[in-house]
Chain A
Amino acid sequence: MTILDYFLVGVAAMGCAGLGLLTGTKGFGRPLLVGIILQACLASLLVWFLPLVVAPLFRVGIGIGWAVLIIHAYAAFSRSSKTLGQFATGLFREMSARTYMQAIAATVFTFVVMLPIHYGDYKFMVDDAIYFGPLVEIFLADYTGGIRVPTYYPALMSAHQLAPTMALAVLAGLLPEVTLVHAVEARYLLMSVFLARVLFLLWRRSGSSDVVFILVVICSIFLIRSELKTLIHTSTYVYALVVAELFLLTLDRRSDAMTFLILALALILMRTSLFYAGASLVGYILLVSAKMRTSPLSIAMILVVLANLVAISLVPKPYGNFELIDVSFSLVNPFSPKPSFDYRQILRFDRIIGQFPELYFMTAGVAVAAILALLKYYYLGFAAIRRLISMGVIAGDKMARRGLELYLLIMLAGWIVVRNSQHGITYQLYNPASIGLIAAMALILVASMRGAWLWRSAIFAVSGTALIVGINIHGIDNIDKVVLGYKFGEPANLSKGTYYKNLKSIPQSAALKKLPNDGASGKLGVRALMLGHRLSAADVSPKQSGVWDFIQAGTENGK
């Protein structure tokens, strides 16, 4: 990544924000997310049929966005009756020094917290070949017809697989050469900027001193580290942003039904295994807002999402043996002889209980996991939201507030009742993780209010206990492992991944051949993507392009 690359990502982001303004969304951050979602929805559909046109369409979309931005700026300028100099500096003069301080501190903090997914420090995993393979391919495609890259089709439900990837592809749309490194860096920038925005908006609403807010934020992020990691390291990163935005929507005095609808539709597409939550929210919005039922934009958006879902069943299946993998979706039968509650991940999520792995094998572990999840995510989140409403901090209209409550309720129901047959509850673990994100944001806000000493001391006490328990078990030397989850200077396990500096240390021609210490077969595919080569190129055989044991048969789409 050069300085020019960062600049071009910024230009693309501005274009996306301009495009988002077309839907009537106000501000800057929210139109940016909406613009990215709009383009990602269209692109994830087109990739199945015409990957050739996706990259040019991104550039057209970004161009339209810039035109909209310029028109908006000119209209505001001609209304304002200021001189050009006053208008240009007006935005910066309005904000106080404290606001600047908050914005800069929040940005620096999140950029540091997110460093493990920065391309220099990130371990490029074998799975990334699947997540980001289509992204590199659309910039190299020189053929008509469906995309020729293994897309993990039946196992992970491809619509969700492609939509988050395409959200990053929009940001990388103007770069001269797109590689896996650029894609990962675009994800780092996207996540950091949006989490900085979340922290900044919460900070502005906090009623107590800055020191208290910073301490509460650090403790909360320490407590939900595993959930955040689960959301960010898989293809759920855009989903996490949409969930965060749903919460921020309720803080605004006048909420916007169209933005709410677009976010709900994004919930369907960004993780199809949780489609029911987004679909219920869409139904709710159409039920209570008569305007949305007849708006051409909302009808078009709903059709695009439907087409995305239908397209999966129309495209040729990439794998010969796909019928072995069951993608069905079912409700729990409490009288079935199979275990219905995979509790171990919930126990691992927790900072205190996660330190006692013997609980995983105890019968009581199931009950502890169920109680923990119900209390920690659902009850705590709901209580904090209730408190915020009674304090008048969540000042949004009833539609957004009730929508948030409904979302929490459906996610709870989904976690308990819904199972995907191939991975069991694995996908339904995103429910507690996403509710955990909402609960953490609500808790940060509640605990930083004036006089909320009970909430505040509870957060400090729990995180302090977690720290003490962790240090007791791992020893004081491993304090970085307890707090951050990894140890500085520890030799990394490279069997399933590689680092950017490892790639740089070997010559390019050697990097594109199988190395003796390549454990998992996908490592060659990952290196090819990092160098900007396509997966289906001659020097990376289909067998080398995917996860071991998974891509065995002929893989190219339609063959």
Chain B
Amino acid sequence: MANEHPFLDFLNNKLDLITAIFTDDEKWSKFSRRTVATLVLFALVITMQTSIIYSPQILIEALYHGRGVGVPIVIKMDNKKSEKMLQRLYSLYVLYHGDKPVKNKANELHLP
């Protein structure tokens, strides 16, 4: 009888194995710990990546040299809060580049 439905038996065994992850305390704690560790690692990677994109340097480049791919729209020109932020970014720009006129890059090809 056991060999009558080999595929179903195989499937049942696999399901039992998965069930054991949840019902066995030791296996569950190992599984959940590993999952959380993976997720935290992943979160670290995307946090770093997002913070690089949101960094003032990137935002300044976006402001003065045209918006590139992936630069978030955090500055709206008609917004009071954005105006404040623009001033702050400008002071950062001065900090980085000195009080020099902005180089005009309009002739270079770039995607908006």
Chain B residues lying within 8 Å of A364, measured Cβ to Cβ, are 51
* A340→B72 CA distance, assembly (Å): 10
Q: A338-B53, A341-B47, A417-B42 are in contact. List 9 more A-B contacts (CB 8 A).
A: A287-B15, A336-B70, A339-B54, A365-B54, A366-B50, A366-B51, A374-B40, A398-B23, A413-B39
A334-B39 contact, Cβ under 8 Å, with A288-B19, A363-B55, A366-B51:
no
CB-defined contacts of B11 to chain A, threshold 8 Å: none
Give the interface size bracket for A toward B: 20 to 34
Complex interface residues of chain B between 31 and 75 (CB less than 8 A to chain A): 32, 35-36, 39-40, 42-47, 49-51, 53-56, 69-70, 72, 74
CB of A335 within 8 A of chain B? Answer: yes
Size of interface on B: residues with Cβ below 8 Å to A? 30
> Is A416 among interface residues, defined by CB-CB distance under 8 A?
yes
Q: Which of A4-12, A225-233, A404-412, A432-440 forms part of the interface with chain B?
A: A404-412
Is B19 a contact partner of A287 (Cβ separation < 8 A)? yes
Of A341, A365, A406, the most chain B CB neighbours within 10 A belong to: A341
Q: Mark B1-42, 1 if CB is under 8 A from A, else 0.
A: 000000000000001001100110000100010011001101
In the A-B complex, list the 4 residue pairs whose CB atoms are closest, starting with the nearest.
Answer: A337-B70, A341-B50, A366-B51, A340-B46
In Å, the complex CA distance between A409 and B46 comes to 18
Say yes or no: A361 contacts B51, CB within 8 Å: no
Interface of B is mostly: helix
What distance in Å separates the Cβ of A374 from its nearest Cβ neighbour in chain B? 7
- Min Cβ gap A529→B in Å is 31
- Mark A412-444 against chain B: 1 for CB-CB distance below 8 A, else 0: 110011000000000000000000000000000
Give the distance to chain B from A70, nearest Cβ to Cβ, in Å.
Answer: 41
A–B pairs, 17, beta carbons within 8 Å: A284-B22, A288-B19, A288-B23, A332-B46, A334-B46, A339-B72, A340-B50, A341-B47, A343-B50, A361-B85, A363-B55, A366-B50, A367-B47, A367-B51, A374-B40, A412-B36, A417-B39
A374:B56 contact, CB within 8 angstroms: no
Point out the residues of chain A lying under 8 angstroms from B45, CB to CB. 334
* Residue among A287, A343, A361, A413 facing the most chain B CB atoms (10 A cut-off): A361
List, in ascending order, chain A residues with CB within 8 A of B47's CB. Answer: 341, 366-367, 370
Chain A residue contacts of B53, Cβ below 8 A: 337-339
